[in-house]
């Protein structure tokens, strides 16, 4: 289920802890799965001089926290803000689709720590170059599914893959029986998502 890199970062997590007198703090969690990540950072000369985190969650959440802390260390604030879910998952040699939200949490928690720092240093914030991406690209990157793996559920005639647990279920099913998640389809692209979503995570279509 997990790559060797994921297991390595899970068994030997890097940069665990809390930065003393942190310049920025960012916390992100998912109430559905219970994962929670808190990142603390130290900034020096416009770069991330130190990054530490505390993560409560599954092995993937721990591995993602460890990996993104390594990836962001020493980068400029602009470079760290540009780190994406896809890049984190790719560095881990892929994550199962039902665990892709973990890399979202890791990137979001780090970004929140940087934004916390910038909120107290408006002169630095004014000079920061933030990444600009088309909305469609952001949605695709954030919810695109498995990166770097080929052993996932594959849709076939009359069957689709649950975006939460990656189980094969009947097309247009309102419920995934394996994980119990209520589902709905996007009227524009037919992408499958959780019931009650306000917009499609795949194409960005906004529901009325």
Cα torsion 142, 146, 149, 150 to 10°: value is: -140
Query: What DSSP letter does each residue of 3-43 carry, written as one string?
Result: -HHHHHHHHS-SSBS--TT-SEEEEEE-TTT--EEEEEEEE
Q: How far apart are CA 185 and CA 88, in angstroms?
A: 28
> Any catalytic annotation for residue 102?
yes
Sign of CA dihedral 56, 60, 65, 70: positive
Q: Exactly one of 102, 161, 186, 200 is catalytic; name it.
A: 102
Q: How far apart are CA 199 and CA 205, in angstroms?
A: 5
Q: How far apart are CA 18 and CA 23, in angstroms?
A: 11
Which is nearest to 37 in space by CA: 106, 83, 139, 95? Answer: 106
Do residues 106 and 86 make contact, with C-beta atoms less than 8 angstroms apart? Answer: no
Do residues 187 and 201 make contact, with C-beta atoms less than 8 angstroms apart? Answer: no
Question: Which residues are known to be catalytic?
Answer: 33, 102
């Amino acid at each position: 289920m997990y790559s060797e890199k994921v297991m390595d970062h899970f068994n030997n997590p890097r940069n665990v802890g809390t930065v003393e007198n942190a310049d920025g703090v960012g916390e992100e969690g998912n109430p559905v799965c219970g994962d929670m990540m808190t990142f603390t950072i130290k900034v020096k000369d416009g770069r991330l001089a130190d990054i530490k985190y505390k993560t409560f969650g599954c092995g993937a959440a721990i591995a993602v926290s460890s990996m993104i802390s390594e990836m962001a260390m020493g980068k400029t604030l602009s470079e760290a803000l540009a780190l994406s879910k896809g890049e984190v998952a790719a560095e881990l040699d892929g994550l199962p689709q039902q665990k892709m939200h973990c890399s979202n949490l890791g990137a979001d928690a780090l970004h929140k720590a940087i934004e916390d720092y910038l909120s107290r240093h408006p002169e630095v914030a004014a000079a920061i170059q933030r990444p600009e991406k088309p909305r469609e690209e952001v949605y695709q990157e954030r919810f695109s599914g498995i990166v770097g793996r080929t052993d996932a559920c594959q849709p076939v005639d009359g069957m689709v893959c649950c975006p939460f647990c990656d189980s094969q279920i009947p097309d247009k099913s309102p419920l995934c029986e394996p994980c119990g998640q209520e589902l709905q389809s996007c009227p524009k692209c037919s992408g499958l998502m959780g019931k009650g979503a306000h917009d499609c995570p795949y194409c960005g279509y906004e529901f009325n």
